[in-house]
Amino acid sequence: MKKIAIVTCARYRDCGGGKCFRALRERRGGFARYAAEEAVEVVGFSNCGGCPGGNVENVPAEFLKNGAQVVHLATGLVVGYPPCPRIRGFKAFIESRYGLPVVVGTHPIPLKYMEAHRALPFWEQAGMAEIASHLMAESREVMEAYN
């Protein structure tokens, strides 16, 4: 049993989480790392609290109390316009302060966002290929299915 927690971007605070939970069921995107036969429980779900992400400072403590073993930064932090400028900092902070490994991504990158970002400088500026390469390597068919 793997216990995970998810931090979303507060710009999408009203999101119902449909793509994230679907991707967890289908083991796609950031959840492709978990085998289909491995049970995964979501023990925490929160947003960053809004720029500059103050909730990231404390919410992992609650995740830990609920047994979280991994934190996923939602794909919205990667695909937003612009992407979250603090995503690297969030990952480094949570891993260092709380000892929780951080995975960048939840659901696959929807194809329309992938195509839009190819024409924009944001991902290159943020070094996104380095921390989200597993999302960018997903097949076109899967990305299209998450449009």
92 binds ligand SF4 (CB under 6 A): no
Among 2, 3, 11, 22, binds ligand SF4 (CB under 6 A): 11
Separation of alpha carbons 128 and 36, rounded Å: 27
Among 4, 9, 24, 114, binds ligand SF4 (CB under 6 A): 9
71 binds ligand SF4 (CB under 6 A): no
77 binds ligand SF4 (CB under 6 A): yes
Give the start-end residues of each E strand in the chain. 2-8, 40-47, 70-73, 102-104
Specify whether the CB–CB gap between 83 and 125 falls below 8 A. no
The residue among 146, 48, 52, 54 whose CA lies nearest residue 106 is 146
Specify whether the CB–CB gap between 10 and 80 falls below 8 A. no
Residues touching ligand SF4, count (CB under 6 A): 11
Among 29, 30, 44, 53, binds ligand SF4 (CB under 6 A): 53
Binding site for ligand SF4 (CB under 6 A): 9-11, 48, 50-53, 77, 84, 86
